[in-house]
Amino acid sequence: MENVKMVNLKINNIPVTVPAGTTILDAAKQAGIQIPTLCYLRKINAIGACRICVVEVKGARTLVASCVYPVNEGMEVFTNTQRVLESRKTTLELILSDHKKECLSCVRSGNCELQTLSNELGCDEHKFVGDVSDYPVDQSTPYIVRDNTKCILCRRCVAACKKVQTVSVIGANARGFDTHIACAFEQNLADVSCVGCGQCIAVCPTGALREKDELDDVVAALNDPTKHVIVGTAPSIRVALGEEFGYDIGTNVEGKMVSALRRLGFNGVFDVDFAADLTIMEEGTEFLSRLKNNGVLPMITSCSPAWIKFCEHNYPELLPHLSTCKSPQQMFGAVAKTYYAEKLGIDPKDLYVVSIMPCTAKKFEKGRADQSAAGNGIPDIDAVLTTRELARLIKRQGLLFRELPDEQFDAPLGVSTGAGLIFGTTGGVMEAALRTVSEIVTGKALEKIEFEAVRGLEGIKEAKYVLNGVEVRVAVASGLGNARKLMDLIKEGKADYHFIEIMSCPGGCVNGGGQPIQPGYVINNVDVPATRAKAIYDSDKGMQLRKSHENPVVKELYANYFGEPNSHKAHEALHTSYVPRKKH
């Protein structure tokens, strides 16, 4: 290992030693000093554009942007001089002069980086008065609302869309005062190749981007005496929801979440982990069938709707590689409006199914074609709430979340396994599938249930397993930029895999676009996806049932309703189709 050159400097007269190439921003953290930022995101957006992170360097004629300015030997830096503080304050006041100040009603009030910094620096929001930008609010999609009157041109969303997801449907249009973030030729988001992943929302420091709110629809259904309203929560919700109520990142609040949902008035509080177990039975059987009968390989998972839409736009010729299985969300709704409705003697049209998801693209998925197990135009899922929306509903209804008792999900659709739970993190779908496929193929119980080679937050992971003498090669990708790399290999005939898991969000659903939004400083200094993922794996480790094929309700569902995995009846309810889409 080569020796790393170290640099000595002083920050606010505090001696600091850091590796050469370190920025002032990172060096300051080692001195216990937080320099404020707005545009900066580690590994994503380091452009020095917002000028909030400026500091004074002895000998320099101008203030420098600490997020991009490297340290050098003997440097003396000052982060809190009057000159620095006045510069930051003036910059913020100029931003506020062209900002739609709706803090009392903005969805990000209390969790807005612009609002926080303005308060800390004592800004006067009326100091600069002049022309104000006016842009129409883009509500063209079922999943994202874009309001450029609240945009501060930090370009975080542009970086996430282009550099991380490689979707690249937004950028800076026009110049000078007229500069704004938009699609090419001022098209609406619905008219371009946006996949709805919501990673732009997750990094936005203000309320310029938010999910399309469905709270009023859900409340109306809960108050409709003709509706039987049930809810299902995705695996990763329980390890993220608590952040909205002051819990540490990664705290598992499953019991209180169930308790809150029951008190909101839902007739049944269920777990989409159950449908994840069902997905494994269908998907695993489909994979084994393709492997045995020379089907299209590699087979690719179909749980992430943003990934599906990405594939439809960018790789329509490779759609046959996708598993035909519906996602766990849609399987949950499909089972609810067929099997469950029959058990309760409820007309499917009177059953209102709500899902709580970490994902904004799920709002698009519920409206896709071929997502109606009950037929007659009855959707599998009626409403999708993000983790953030659920938190707002709990607060709106006056529930004291931290004081609620811990309760358990209802039966039958609340029974699940650890395999269903780990769907919430990258590699989880693959591991859950391997737990079941391995035992089906070998006929033997696994000695070690963890498949650690597919765990972790690396963008692309590969592994090989021998099942009954047959080598099975698998790959896992999270983040659409990494998905693109694998798809290009398939397109070029270079993908030496049998089975691929793809999740659209980096780190998987734990880092979904509908999860609680952490400020830039936390994103830059805490591995949020890894912390949430650890909570999922810890919970899986303590569960009695850890394999999907051991779920007793799934067994009963096949024995008395679907017959067997991939049966004709199962295909009608639990499988779907895809459509090539134009790339805009």
Q: pLDDT tens digits, residue range 369-413?
A: 999 999 999 999 999 999 999 999 999 999 999 999 999 999 999
Partners of 180 in the beta sheet?
173
- Rounded Cα distance between 419 and 428, Å, is 8
Domain segments of the chain as ranges? 6-80, 95-211, 226-574
Contact 424, 509 (CB under 8 A): yes
List pLDDT tens digits, range 229-247.
999 999 999 999 999 999 9
Query: For residues 266 and 222, is the Cβ–Cβ distance under 8 A?
Result: yes
Q: Average pLDDT in the 273-299 region?
A: 97
* 88-133 pLDDT per residue, tens: 999 999 999 999 999 999 999 999 999 999 999 999 999 999 999 9
**Quick one: pLDDT band at residue 2, thresholds 50, 70, 90?**
low
Find the radius of gyration of the CA atoms of the chain. 25
CATH class of 6-80: alpha beta
Q: How far apart are CA 548 and CA 526, in angstroms?
A: 32
Non-local (6+) Cβ contacts of 245 within 8 A are 253, 391, 401, 402
- The mean per-residue pLDDT over the stretch 164-172 comes to 98
The predicted pLDDT at position 584 comes to 74
Closest of 478, 411, 522 to residue 116, by C-alpha: 522
- pTM higher than 0.95 for the full model? yes
| Mean predicted confidence (pLDDT) in 420-435 | 98
CA dihedral 377, 381, 383, 385 (to 10 degrees): -160
Res 456 pLDDT > 60 = yes
Query: From the CB of residue 34, how many other CB atoms can be counted at a distance below 10 Å?
Result: 11
Architecture of the domain delimited by 95-211: 2-Layer Sandwich (3.30)
Please check the confidence at residue 576 and state whether its pLDDT lies above 60.
yes
User: DSSP of 383-432, one letter per residue?
Assistant: EEEEHHHHHHHHHHTT--GGGSPP--PPSSTT---HHHHGGGSTTHHHHH
- Confidence category of residue 1, pLDDT binned at 50, 70, 90: very low
pLDDT digits (tens, 9 = 90+) for 486-503: 999 999 999 999 999 999
Share of the chain above pLDDT 90, in %: 98
Out of 3.30.300.130, 1.20.840.10, 3.40.50.11720, 3.40.950.10, which CATH number does the structure's domain 226-574 have?
3.40.950.10
What is the maximum span of the chain, computed from C-alpha positions, in angstroms?
Answer: 80
Mean pLDDT of the chain: 97
Q: Are 528 and 249 in contact (CB under 8 A)?
A: yes
Backbone angles phi, psi at 567, to 5 degrees: -65, 170
- pLDDT at position 3: 81
